[in-house]
């Protein structure tokens, strides 16, 4: 008898799991319900669409529903929202968004790839049409229209996480006056230590973005953003306050939730219900350094957890070890990378840590384009084990974080890192690569 896999959500996690399951099981019937118009798209590309690097929203679609049907024999249904799941009867209720009608669909296995939504605190005026979240390509289209409109002069970005910063650059490039309002005293405060965050704030100010730290937004009214410090004119507001996992549908079906309301999964991406899996931004994951469950909403994690879920759904066996929390971004020419624990994370996880910072260059000092880079390492006192790293620097800096991520994955000490046989030529790095120079300094400090 043919078994049916129903996948809820048609982006990175949902489609990643569906295509992976298909590779293993050619006979499985696979249905993907996606409430939006687009499937298999790159939300990560939205800031570059709005900023003008990417020319059309279609360029951000990796595979259309028609391609997925033809190439993978997956029954992809855009414009279909799953509104309820009955685990006892093994059936879901699907709503055809356009025709406003519902139908029941039986399933044998179920996969949640429902993602996340931008956090929208309960503030007066937050639902005004000029106050935008950024998550789906529909959001991207609305933001592009706003950026291209001649009335888009003053843009307020609320929240200084990486999405807020990328959107600040995008609107700046369109010629808008951009103000970034952040309640805490730091830029990228959840992912960088304040000393590195200060370098990012300085890069934004050099660009011409007004950075207002320690200022809380209280309301949005009549083309103005009201903060504790006064009223700021705003034609467009972009919310960059982080995301909340879409776990409610699973919770209503009786599935257990974990960290921050994300769906709790085990190492095989199984939820608490038999035959039901979850991956991507709707699910929690495991921090392999702090050894605790965490919530990380990143495309890298969505793709890797989806692969594991898909293998298991297709009848294979795979496990996901967890993450160290590696991410990169850029603000014009300034590149940022982070991995593992910050100084503050290390303290809260109970580590006795030493930190070191060095200044170096992304190329040999005499070579054209030898922009500066700051590297900070967080190292366990005594053992010398690397716990985390952050860097901020000119073009060529960011992807060096992957060396540190690999070191974290392998559990290397700074002594190991000093001895890793990294490459060198003047156009690429100084003879001691900045991450190795930082490891040398850490070796002295511990
Ligand atoms: C502006 C921006 C920039 C980013 N940049 C980066 C980056 O540079 N690097 C990085 O690693 N990550 C980045 N990310 C994060 C990355 O895009 C997400 O982690 C990734 O998209 C998560 O994939 P997902 O499939 O889990 O969730 P989503 O992409 O949110 O997809 C979930 C899908 O499920 C659908 N859905 C939800 N509920 C239902 C339902 N009940 N029925 C049917 N369909 C439903 C939604 O419509 C949505 O299409 C960025 C995100 C944004 C918004």
Which ligand 1 atom minimizes the distance to the CA of 139?
A: 53
Active-site positions? Answer: 44
115 lines ligand 1 (CB under 6 A): yes
How many angstroms is it from 282 CA to the middle of ligand 1? 9
300 lines ligand 1 (CB under 6 A): yes
CA 26 → CA 4, 5, 40, 237, distances in Å? 12, 12, 21, 47
Which ligand 1 atom minimizes the distance to the CA of 12?
A: 25
Residue of the nearest CA to atom 34 in ligand 1? 9
Helix (H, G, I), strand (E, B) or coil at 78: strand
Residue of the nearest CA to atom 48 in ligand 1? 9
283 lines ligand 1 (CB under 6 A): no
169 lines ligand 1 (CB under 6 A): no
Q: What integer pLDDT is reported at residue 150 of this predicted model?
A: 83
Residue 100 burial (C-beta neighbours within 10 Å; 0-12, 13-18, 19+)? exposed
pLDDT for 108-166, tens place per residue?
A: 999 999 999 999 999 999 999 999 999 999 999 999 999 998 889 999 999 999 999 99
Residue 148 burial (C-beta neighbours within 10 Å; 0-12, 13-18, 19+)? exposed
Q: What integer pLDDT is reported at residue 229 of this predicted model?
A: 86
Which ligand 1 atom minimizes the distance to the CA of 36?
A: 47
Return the best residue to mutate from 82, 115, 161 for the ligand 1 pocket (most ligand atoms within 8 A of CB).
115
Q: How many angstroms separate the CA atoms of 331 and 168, rounded? A: 9
Helix axes 299-313, 12-24, angle to 10 degrees: 30
114 lines ligand 1 (CB under 6 A): yes
| 144: its two tokens | 């592009």
Q: What integer pLDDT is reported at residue 243 of this predicted model?
A: 97
167 lines ligand 1 (CB under 6 A): no
Q: What integer pLDDT is reported at residue 278 of this predicted model?
A: 98
Which ligand 1 atom minimizes the distance to the CA of 81?
A: 42
How many angstroms is it from 198 CA to the middle of ligand 1? 29
Residue reference for tokens 């939300």: 43
Residue of the nearest CA to atom 14 in ligand 1? 44
95 lines ligand 1 (CB under 6 A): no
How many C-beta atoms lie closer than 10 Å to residue 105's C-beta?
A: 16
Return the best residue to mutate from 102, 120, 166, 281 for the ligand 1 pocket (most ligand atoms within 8 A of CB).
281
Q: Is residue 134 within 8 Å of residue 101, measured between CB atoms? A: no
Q: What integer pLDDT is reported at residue 100 of this predicted model?
A: 87
390 lines ligand 1 (CB under 6 A): no
pLDDT for 254-267, tens place per residue?
A: 999 999 999 999 99
Residues of the chain with pLDDT under 70: none
Which ligand 1 atom minimizes the distance to the CA of 298?
A: 19
Q: How many angstroms separate the CA atoms of 93 and 263, rounded? A: 20
How many angstroms is it from 10 CA to the middle of ligand 1? 9
How many angstroms is it from 345 CA to the middle of ligand 1? 26
134 lines ligand 1 (CB under 6 A): yes
CA 133 → CA 83, 164, 385, 425, 443, distances in Å? 22, 10, 39, 43, 44
Which ligand 1 atom minimizes the distance to the CA of 42?
A: 17
244 lines ligand 1 (CB under 6 A): no
11 lines ligand 1 (CB under 6 A): yes
| 375: its two tokens | 């590297």
Q: Is residue 59 within 8 Å of residue 51, measured between CB atoms? A: no
């Amino acid at each position: 008898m043919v078994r049916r896999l129903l996948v809820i959500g048609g982006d990175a996690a949902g489609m990643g799991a569906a295509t992976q399951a298909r590779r293993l099981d050619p006979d499985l019937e696979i249905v993907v319900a996606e409430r939006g118009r687009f499937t298999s798209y790159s939300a990560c590309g939205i800031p570059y669409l709005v900023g003008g690097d990417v020319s059309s929203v279609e360029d951000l679609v990796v595979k259309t529903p028609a391609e997925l049907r033809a190439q993978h024999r997956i029954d992809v249904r855009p414009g279909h929202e799953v509104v309820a799941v009955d685990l006892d009867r093994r059936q879901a209720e699907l709503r055809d968004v356009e025709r406003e009608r519902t139908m029941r669909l039986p399933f044998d296995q179920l996969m949640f790839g429902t993602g996340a939504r931008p956090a929208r605190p309960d503030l007066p005026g937050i639902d005004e049409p000029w106050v935008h979240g950024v998550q789906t390509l529909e959001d991207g289209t609305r933001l592009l229209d706003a950026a291209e409109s001649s009335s888009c002069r003053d843009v307020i970005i609320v929240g200084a996480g990486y999405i807020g910063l990328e959107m600040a650059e995008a609107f700046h490039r369109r010629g808008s006056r951009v103000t970034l309002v952040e309640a805490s005293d730091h830029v990228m405060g959840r992912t960088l230590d304040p000393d590195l965050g200060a370098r990012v704030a300085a890069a934004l100010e050099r660009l011409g973005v007004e950075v207002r730290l320690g200022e809380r937004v209280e309301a949005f009214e009549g083309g103005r953003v009201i903060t504790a410090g006064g009223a700021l004119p705003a034609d467009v507001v972009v919310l960059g306050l982080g995301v909340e996992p879409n776990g409610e549908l699973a919770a209503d079906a009786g599935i257990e939730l974990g960290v921050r309301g994300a769906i709790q999964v085990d190492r095989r991406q199984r939820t608490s219900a038999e035959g039901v899996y979850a991956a991507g931004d709707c699910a929690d994951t495991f921090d392999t350094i702090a050894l605790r469950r965490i919530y990380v909403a990143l495309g890298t994690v969505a793709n890797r957890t989806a692969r594991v879920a898909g293998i298991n759904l297709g009848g294979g066996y795979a496990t996901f070890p967890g993450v160290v929390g590696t991410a990169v971004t850029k603000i014009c020419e300034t590149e940022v990378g982070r991995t593992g624990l910050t100084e503050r994370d290390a303290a809260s996880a109970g580590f006795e840590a030493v930190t070191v910072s060095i200044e170096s260059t992304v190329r040999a000092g005499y070579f054209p384009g030898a922009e500066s880079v700051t590297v900070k390492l967080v190292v366990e006192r005594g053992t010398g084990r690397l716990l985390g790293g952050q860097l901020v620097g000119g073009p060529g800096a960011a992807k060096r974080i992957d060396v540190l991520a690999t070191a974290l994955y392998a559990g290397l000490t700074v002594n190991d890192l000093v001895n890793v046989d990294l490459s060198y030529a003047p156009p690429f790095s100084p003879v001691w690569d900045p991450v190795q120079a930082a490891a040398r300094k850490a070796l002295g400090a511990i």
